[in-house]
Structure formats: C-alpha cells, structure tokens
Amino acid sequence: MEQSSEIVAGLDIGTTKVACIVGRKNEYGKIEILGMGKSESVGVNRGVVANIEKTVHAIRAAVDECESKSGVDIRNVNVGIAGQHIKSLQHRGIRTRNSLDNEIGQEDIDLLIEDMYKLVMLPGEEIIHVLPQEYIVDNEQGIKDPIGMSGMRLEANFHIITGQIAAAKNIYRCIDKAGLEVNQLILEPLASAEAVLSEEEKEAGVVLVDIGGGTTDIAMFQDGIIRHTAVIPFGGNAITEDIKEGCTIIKHQAELLKMKFGSALASESQENEIVSIPGLRGREPKEISVKNLAHIIQARMEEIIEHVYYEIKNSGFEKKLIAGIVLTGGGSQLKHISQLVEYVTGMDTRIGYPNEHLAKGNSEDITSPMYATGVGLTIKGFQYIAKEKTKKQSIATHSIKKGGKWFDNIMNKTKNWFEEDPDE
C-alpha cells in the first residue's frame, strides 16, 4: 500500500491556546503527525472570538510554527467551533422516491440531508451539522445504512446542531485575514470524540467530556450513533479565577499553582503541605495551604460535573451508557479528577488520550489530552476527503450507467430497423 500524498491541517481556536496540527496517513491508515504549532490565545472568550486582530495574530503564530516544523505550506484548514450559543435538536426527514426498481443510493441520502439544511431557524442562527442517526425504509426501522436497498419511502432521524451566524462568520473572517481557507467548520466535541473514543465505546454508550479553558463540551454516543451534544460555558479558566480570588494572587501565579499543585479532591491532600509564592515588588512571600487550594478547585469542579450530569440525565440515555465517561481536554489533566467524576456521577470514568488513530512515534506533546480537538479536526479532514472521493465515484458510476442505457437503446433501435422486413 502506498503512502497517502494528501496532507490535512486541523486548527483548534481555543480560549487558552490556538493549536495547528498537520498530518498525513501512512500505509496502515494511521495518521502521522508532521508538525504542530501553538500560540497563546488572547482574542477568544469562552470559545467565541472576541477580538479579531488578536485572534488573527495567534492563528498566524501557530500556523507559522507548524509550517516551519513540518516543512508543509498550509493553505486550507479544518476549524473547530464551540461556545455557549451551540444548541442541538432532533428532527425527522422524509423523501418519497419515484421507483422501486432503482436502489437507494448516496444521492437520495444527500438530498435528505440537504432538505434538513432548509429548516427555518431562529433569527441569527444557522445549521452547522446535520448528522443522520438511523434510517427508516418503507416503515422498516433501525436501518443504519440504507444504500443498495429497495423502497419508495425513505425517512431518517437527524441530530441537528445549530449555532449563531455571527460566531461562525467571525471564525471565517479570522481565518481569511490570516491568509488561509476553511475546508470545513466542525463542532469541537465531535472532533475530540473522533480522536479519543473507540468504536466499541460508541457502540456501548459513552459520554465524551472535553474540559477546555473557556468551555466544557459534551458529546454522547450510544449504539454507534450521536445522541446528544452540549456546550457548558465553564472550564479551566473559571478554576484559575477562583484560585486568584480565593488566594489573592495574580492570574499567572494562580494558573501555575493549579497545574503544579492542584488536585480535584481535597481529601487526597496533606494538611501540613504549604506552597510559598513570591510577593509582588519587595512584599513578603505568600504561603498557601495545598489543602485549601484543593478545596477551591473541588468546589468549582463539582459545579462543572453537576452541569455535565444534568445533560446526561436530560438526554434520556443515562442508563444506557455502559462505557461511562471519557474525560479529555486540558482540564482533564488535573490530579484525581476521574475519582471526583466517578464520585459525583457514579459512572465509570477514564482519561482520553488522542492516540486512537495516530501512528506510533509521535511526540508525547501530541498525545496529551490538550490536543484532542486538534488531532480530531485532522482526522475529520481525512474523512471529508474520503467522502468526497466516494461521492465522485458514485456520480461517475451513475452517469456511466445512464449513458450505457441510452447507448443500448440506440443500438437496439438500429438493430430492429435493419432486421425489419423491407416489404412490411
């Protein structure tokens, strides 16, 4: 098998960082990361672009670093979208076909999906994704792939994800100003799920919880189908703010304190453990108890988990999630976080690393949960390419068949004309 020449770039515009990851598929179908660049994100607030110029600058810095490390000239990127404005809804689409003779093809499914994009949304909102869940052919339910079947009435249940037009427009504007083009805009929890979840987990029923800086993203799968998505407007930055207020220190120190000494369970910390922080401009150093720090973190973390648990219960799939919860994103690196999640929700929990589809030999940086979204966007890019290829092939086959029939008709008519008795 030859190596794929296609190179795909994923751009994760987060609240704390902008990460650009470029990769290609090796001969075993795994993704080989060629380079990664990241920069501090200053123009994004809770997953939404708040300052165009600063965001453009951060995107450019991350892309430049990625280009110099990989030696690839990046022109097109797959970008993630998140934020409080993201909503999801369920809808059913119906299409009546003309004939039973022709089997159901990709064209029928594409037309069904296109119809969903025409749904009337609230002012200022647009549809970002239309995800087919299951199909119904002539009242036969629970069909996952109807291609090749016969039937007059094709129905499908769809999971539709909507977002604000302005938020999407601002992302496009930033990418455009950075001299790049958007291949596709992808909901971030869907990308993260692609990077860290296995097919078995999606089949069994699983909740992906991506704890970022500004938002916590949720994607729920069961029976291999996306069932629920949500974005909670809290993340790691809320914890940093609480530490800053609670310990009366500056933000930079609060962030370092959280990363080096933070724990999500106060009961796991020693009473007598003290951290000394240098004072500002000749002032006395500050002494902070690690147990107090853990209490501050646990309080905010419990609030975030309660929100997640509310979404799980709200979806109606609480009892069907055999694989439990998978935590990813920068916030999942907090010590004892999986124990706290298990304690609050009573569900099995593991930390998700984005190495599910990656080739061996990638640096440890890439396989950190922080880069789950970036890796997922790259994977989604390859899926998009494969889908486009399949579409082109099916169109080509369809037109050959049509052309073939037309040619056969002409030949038959000509043949009949020659065979006819001239006297008649």
**Which of 246, 271, 297 delimits the end of a domain?**
297
Neighbours of 154 (CB within 10 A): 22
pLDDT in tens, 307-320: 999 999 998 899 99
Among 96, 223, 98, which Cα is nearest to 159's?
223
Taking only the tens place, the pLDDT of each residue in 370-396 is 999 999 999 999 999 888 887 777 667
H helix runs in 207-348, sequence order: 236-247, 251-261, 290-315, 337-345
Kindly report the CATH number assigned to the domain that includes residue 155: 3.30.1490.110
Angstrom distance (rounded) from CA 6 to CA 10: 13
Residue at 130 is within a domain: yes
What is the value of pTM for the model shown? Answer: 0.89
According to DSSP, the β-strands at 325-328 and 17-25 are unpaired
Mean pLDDT of the chain: 88
Classify residue 127: in a domain, yes or no.
yes
How many whole angstroms separate alpha carbon 213 and alpha carbon 54? 17
Instruction: Give the phi and the psi of residue 234 in degrees, each rounded to 5.
Output: -130, 150
How is residue 303 written in tokens? 């609030």
| Backbone angles phi and psi of 49, in degrees to 5 | -65, 125
Q: Give CA–CA dist 319/267, Å, rounded.
A: 29
CB 376 within 8 A of CB 83: no
Residue holding tokens 């009473």? 271
Q: What is the rounded distance in angstroms from the CA atom of residue 116 to the CA atom of residue 142?
A: 20
CATH number of domain containing 242: 3.30.420.40
| 399 located within any domain | no
- CA-to-CA dists, residue 246 to 45, 272, 274, angstroms: 22, 19, 15
Q: Is 206 helix (H, G, I), strand (E, B) or coil?
A: strand
Q: Which of 256, 280, 297 is the last residue of a domain?
A: 297
The secondary structure of residue 144, as a DSSP letter, is S
φ/ψ (deg, to 5) at 335: -60, 145
DSSP 8-state symbol, 121: P
Residue with tokens 């539709």: 160
**Contact yes or no for 186/79 (Cβ under 8 A):** yes
Number of domains in the chain: 2
Domain annotation covers residue 249: yes
Is position 31 within any domain? no
Comparing 216-230, 280-294, 356-370, 408-422, the range with the smallest average pLDDT is: 408-422
pLDDT at 216 > cutoff 50: yes
pLDDT for 273-286, tens place per residue?
Answer: 898 888 888 788 88
pLDDT higher than 70, residue 196: yes
Question: Which residues neighbour 56 within 8 Å (Cβ) at sequence distance 6 or greater?
Answer: 43, 174, 177, 178
> Alpha-carbon distance 262 to 334, whole Å?
7
- pLDDT recorded at residue 366: 84
- Does residue 125 lie within any of the structural domains? yes
Q: Is a pLDDT exceeding 50 seen at residue 2?
A: no
Residue 281 lies in a domain: yes
Domain end, chosen from 273, 297, 321, is at 297
Higher pLDDT, 245 or 398: 245
Tell me if 94 is assigned to some domain: yes
**What is the residue range of 132's domain?**
87-164
Question: Is the pLDDT confidence value at 129 over 60?
Answer: yes
**pLDDT per residue over 313-348, tens digit each?**
998 899 999 999 999 999 999 999 999 999 999 999
